[in-house]
């Protein structure tokens, strides 16, 4: 009997050992580039760019989306905004190298509170909060719960409102007690590695993914067991959360811009971005034709113009969006004909 049990458990033990080994490899490939800060019983990780003497923008706080880490928004914005603002690129609780903290951090409201505390610890009194995808729900929660710290809000392909259906089955398994532990330690790494290439391509679809995106942003960090469980728990609770909390977005009175692509198959702009534009008085919605779920990379120039407008400068964001559409259309034509000059390629900084 003992031999039969051992034979049954051996494949699971091997799979768990492999996952632990690969998790160490992921961390060696993408070591922590931030600084850990105790915010009251647990630590959050962030890259903090101090305010430069040449700053012409308010402080900026960047919140990454699901399955991500701070390297994603860092790659899109740090070099583009160098010398212009104090910046804080955050690993959300349980993601990247941030510790998870308490059960409240399974909800966008808890994560928003954690970021507010981190800002206080880092000496940032007020900031424009920039949220991509899942980070949009946290940015919205921040605007509702911490108006005194909100200089403005920039939403990039945000997930903020109820949607029909739910989330993929494996998130429910990963978030479950007991069986979730086994799934996260034995199945997620081999399954995730097979899906990683397709998954990152899908995030950018219908646009091409930057050639160095995977190498620079470390998406494999989410496959570590604790990180995947945190990510899955976030996913499984988001629908109920936004169903209950989206009616409170009308309380937001900070300057707000929403940037979305009309070809986003991951977060539907007609539900989320249009919902925010409806719910937040004075919000400006910028819809960019032909762009998918990554306007942070595809329309970085529009996002920066939006930050300038939030800061009080005159900017024609609709004109900026049309210019981006023309640039992307020219790039697509050139790629089709095989005549892409170096100046028309793009990649994460």
Instruction: Give the model confidence (pLDDT) of 298-309 as tens digits.
Output: 999 999 999 999
Percent of the chain scoring above 70 in pLDDT: 93
Min mean pLDDT across 37-51, 182-196, 324-338 is at: 324-338
Q: How far is residue 218's CA from residue 79's CA, in Å, rounded to a whole number?
A: 18
Name the band, by pLDDT with cuts 50, 70 and 90, for residue 342: very low
What pLDDT does 40 receive? 93
**Mean pLDDT of the region 219-235:** 97
User: In the structure, how many helices (H) and strands (E) does the chain have?
Assistant: 13, 8
- Does the pLDDT at position 168 exceed 70? yes
**In Å, what is the CA distance from 148 to each residue of 55, 214, 311?**
21, 37, 16
Say what the pLDDT of residue 10 is: 61
pLDDT of residue 4: 47
Mean pLDDT of 59-66: 98
Q: What is the pLDDT of residue 100?
A: 98
pLDDT of the residue at 334: 79
pLDDT of residue 11: 66
Q: Closest by alpha carbon to 32, among 202, 177, 224? A: 224
Domains of the chain, start order? 32-255+266-344 (3.40.50.1820)
Task: Please determine, for residue 321, whether its predicted confidence score (pLDDT) is greater than 80.
Answer: yes
Q: Please report the pLDDT score of residue 17 as a whole number.
A: 85
Find the range with the poorest average confidence among 41-45, 105-109, 195-199. 195-199
Band of pLDDT at residue 340, cut at 50, 70 and 90: low
pLDDT tens-place string over residues 207-222 = 999 999 999 999 999 9
- Give pLDDT tens digits for 111-120: 999 999 999 9
**In this structure, how many other beta carbons lie within 10 angstroms of the beta carbon of residue 39?**
22
145-162 average pLDDT score: 98
DSSP 211: T
- The pairing of strands 87-90 and 43-49 is antiparallel
| More confidently predicted of 61 and 20 | 61
Of the pLDDT bands very low, low, confident and very high (cuts 50, 70, 90), residue 12 is low
Per-residue buried b or exposed e for 224-234, using 16+ beta carbons within 10 Å of the residue's own CB:
bbebbbbbbbb
- Which residue, among 234, 233, 223, 229, has the nearest Cα to 191 in the 3D structure? 223
In the predicted model, what is the mean pLDDT of the chain?
A: 92
């Amino acid at each position: 009997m003992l031999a039969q049990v051992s034979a049954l458990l051996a494949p699971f033990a091997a799979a768990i050992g492999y996952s632990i080994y690969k998790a160490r490899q992921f961390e060696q490939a993408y070591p922590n580039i931030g600084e850990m800060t105790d915010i009251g019983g647990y630590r959050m990780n962030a890259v903090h760019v101090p305010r430069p003497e040449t700053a012409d923008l308010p402080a900026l706080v960047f919140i990454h989306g699901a399955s991500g880490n701070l390297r994603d928004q860092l790659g899109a914005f740090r070099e583009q905004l160098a010398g212009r603002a104090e910046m804080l690129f955050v690993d959300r609780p349980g993601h990247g190298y941030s510790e998870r903290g308490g059960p409240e951090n399974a909800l966008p409201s808890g994560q928003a509170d954690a970021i507010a505390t981190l800002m206080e610890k880092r000496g940032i009194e007020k900031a424009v909060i920039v949220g991509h995808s899942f980070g949009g729900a946290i940015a919205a929660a921040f605007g509702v719960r911490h108006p005194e710290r909100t200089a403005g809000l920039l939403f990039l392909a945000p997930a903020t409102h109820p949607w029909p259906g739910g989330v993929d089955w494996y998130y429910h398994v990963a978030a479950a007690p007991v069986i979730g532990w086994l799934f996260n330690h034995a199945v997620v790494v081999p399954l995730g590695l097979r899906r990683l290439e397709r998954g990152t391509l899908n995030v950018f679809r219908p646009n091409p993914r930057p050639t160095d995106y995977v190498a620079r942003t470390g998406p494999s960090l989410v496959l570590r067991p604790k990180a995947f469980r945190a990510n899955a728990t976030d996913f499984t609770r988001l629908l109920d959360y936004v169903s209950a909390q989206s009616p409170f977005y009308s309380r937001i009175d900070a300057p707000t811009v929403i940037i979305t692509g009309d070809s986003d198959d991951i977060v539907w702009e007609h539900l989320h971005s249009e919902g925010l534009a409806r719910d937040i008085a004075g919000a400006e919605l910028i819809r960019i034709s032909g762009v998918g779920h990554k306007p942070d990379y595809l329309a970085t120039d529009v996002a920066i113009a939006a930050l300038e407008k939030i800061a009080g400068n005159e900017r024609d964001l609709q004109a900026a969006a049309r210019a981006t559409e023309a640039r992307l259309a020219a790039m697509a034509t050139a790629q089709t004909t095989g005549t892409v000059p170096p100046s028309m390629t793009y990649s994460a900084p």
